[in-house]
Amino acid sequence: MERKRVQSDAAEEPESAVGQRPDDEDTPVVELAHDDNAEEPPAPETVATGRDVILRSARLAPQGAGVYRMLDRRGNVLYVGKAKNIARRVISYTRNGVENRIARMVAATASMEFISTSTETEALLLEANLIKRFRPHFNVLLRDDKSFPYILITSDHPAPQITKHRGARSRKGDYFGPFAAVGAVNRTITALERAFLLRSCADAVYESRTRPCLLYQIKRCSAPCTGEIALAEYNRLVDEARDFLSGRSHAVKETLAKEMEAASEALNFERAAALRDRLAALSAIQSHNGVHPRTVEQADVFAVHQEGGVTCIEVFFIRNFQNWGDRAYYPRADRSLGPGAVLESFLAQFYENKTSPRLVLLSHEIEERDLLAEALATRSGYRVEIAVPQRGDKRALVDHALLNAREALGRRLAESSTQTRLLKGVAELFGLPQPPRRIEVYDNSHIAGSNPVGVMIVAGPEGYAKNQYRKFNIRSEQLAPGDDFGMMREVLKRRFGRLVADETPRNGDADSPWPDLVIIDGGLGQLNAARETLADLGIGDLCIVSIAKGADRDAGRETFHMADREPFRLPPRDPVLYFIQRLRDEAHRFAVGSHRARRKRDIASSGLQEIPGVGPTRKRALLRHFGTLSAIERASLADLETVPGINAATARAVYDYFHANG
């Protein structure tokens, strides 16, 4: 591939700054569309300046296929596009009468970059990759690219294991999915255990068993680990499970029904009852999957619905004639884009890091359907068909997805309306000029100064932005144990010091990492520590609020502290108070969870030496009795007291260490 860069004289930033974003913004997040059309149209001379930049760039643009990027004066990527002929596509932006969205994009353009590719298909794949990397303001953005969970039946062990899998397929075995949610995978695995009695334990646990575990007792495992079932018979169960998940469920159920009838006729009622329970478990799996396509073996179904300037794309996953769940996406897109245009850009980004099935069904026609099908086939290695069905089972699937898209978007808009009212109340309460676009809440967690962790959560018009949460392992060795003020200073210095060092602009843009409101869990001392830290960084105009817990830590009696304002409380039933309480509680939950995870890692690496009063002898006694660290963590106080060599005081110390609230 060949790169070219053309820059106007007015551009200020060096080439190395192009498209860079602070590391805190690396993680994508689903975002509602914003109303770009609400802005005033650009002045004619501004558009003319942008056209001049594009005209100069077009003279050096490649005549073949490739990708182009439009950049603003700071080097941020405004738009990424692909074209069969880059020069011809670029020159089209200089014509009169373009829509308002394009005019604003042209007006903001200060330079352009080009990348030549061998084919238009390669350009399409590269475009999707660059959109996800740079998140340009004027592109349709899929901002939730989490991998989907699968069910894995391993093949690298004499007694295959059934387990949940997410990520790279590095282990040998058969993968079944994707499933839309982890909950659906967990429910299905539980039902499959009942139906086929497959083991779900890790190989190390399997090898160490000397007697059947609890799952065998509750009839969710056939216990091949202790020889309760012969390996040949166990592998027959594994084959049945593979057949069921591969779409041959009817044949599997027929076989089980015949075996049940034969056992009943032979008066082997115990075996007949076991087979009956297995059939019931299989029926339960299929009942959870909702709509069942009779003629569609494998497909992804996409339906798009637009309302109120917001786009919802509902995705159904059909595998082996079964519906394995759905997920709703809300890509960021300009209001002027129709459903087909949004769907086309969404699909390219959706499959940028996922494997496509052989059939993709759409609710709306897209302009470059054949090109996208060719690109997916190139990536997957087999022919991929993209269709917009008009009748039959396939159309019924699309209609069902459309119904779900409409309902999901309705719920989203209702929630967004409520959130908007709450944010307006927050703005009035704290004297903000407008409802906050980004709220950051900070909290710390530790036990007597050990394993200190600071956290930041983020909330805004769409609720919690969980993939923008951040953890800060406290590094300073000069802090006294339990110095909450010092911990807060370190967290804020690291967080805002990076923004200042990177010269991140505070332009109020929807993607800006600068918060409009900072909430600190603590009293006046925490507020003063936070203000001093930000003042040292040259930040003096950020709205900071600290929340001190009420007497006896009662919710509803919190005291708010702000600079140049007397401490105040809100009425106990105020909706804004409830909203702020939820933000604080979410930060506390995240802080405690992060602290426990760090503490558990340290205990695992240090051999329990972090627990006060537990020496080498008692560590050996605990591990000899419970076997693993996880079992010690789950043990009740009464169980700990039964361990030889562990007295009541030590048992209490161990129990409190694992169950403290942080």
> Averaged over 335-343, what is the pLDDT?
89
Top pLDDT among 597 and 660 is at 597
> Averaged over 192-209, what is the pLDDT?
86
Distance CA 183, CA 567 (A): 44
> Averaged over 525-546, what is the pLDDT?
90
> Averaged over 385-405, what is the pLDDT?
90
Name every residue whose Cβ is closer than 8 Å to that of residue 531 and which is 6 or more positions away in sequence.
Answer: 544, 563
Residue 517 has a pLDDT of 93
Percent of residues, the chain, with pLDDT higher than 90 = 17
Domain 439-597 = CATH 3.30.420.340:
yes
613, amino acid identity: G
Residue 360 has a pLDDT of 94
Name every residue whose Cβ is closer than 8 Å to that of residue 618 and which is 6 or more positions away in sequence.
Answer: 645, 646, 650
CATH architecture of 607-659: Orthogonal Bundle (1.10)
Top pLDDT among 289 and 177 is at 177
> Averaged over 501-508, what is the pLDDT?
75
What stretches of 158-210 show up as alpha helix (H) in DSSP? 182-196, 203-208
Kindly report the CATH class assigned to 2-134. alpha beta
Instruction: Give tens-digit pLDDT for 561-601.
Output: 998 889 998 887 788 888 898 898 898 888 888 877 776 66
Distance CA 82, CA 124 (A): 6
Residue 510 has a pLDDT of 65
> Tokens at residue 179, please?
């499933």
Out of 240-254, 570-584, 632-646, give the one with best mean pLDDT.
570-584
> Averaged over 603-618, what is the pLDDT?
66
Residue 364 has a pLDDT of 94
Spans of all domains in the chain: 2-134, 150-288, 298-411, 439-597, 607-659
Instruction: Give tens-digit pLDDT for 257-283.
Output: 777 878 777 787 777 877 777 777 666
Give the DSSP H or E segment for 353. none
298-411: CATH, from 3.30.420.340, 3.10.20.740, 1.10.132.20, 3.30.413.10: 3.30.420.340
Residue 632 has a pLDDT of 79
Q: What value does the mean pLDDT of the chain take?
A: 80
Residue 295 has a pLDDT of 76
Residue among 509, 531, 534 at smallest CA distance from 522? 531
Do the domains spanning 2-134 and 607-659 agree at the CATH topology level? no
Instruction: Give tens-digit pLDDT for 81-116.
Output: 999 999 999 999 988 777 888 888 999 999 999 999
Top pLDDT among 26 and 266 is at 266
> Tokens at residue 466, please?
């969980």
Distance CA 63, CA 67 (A): 11
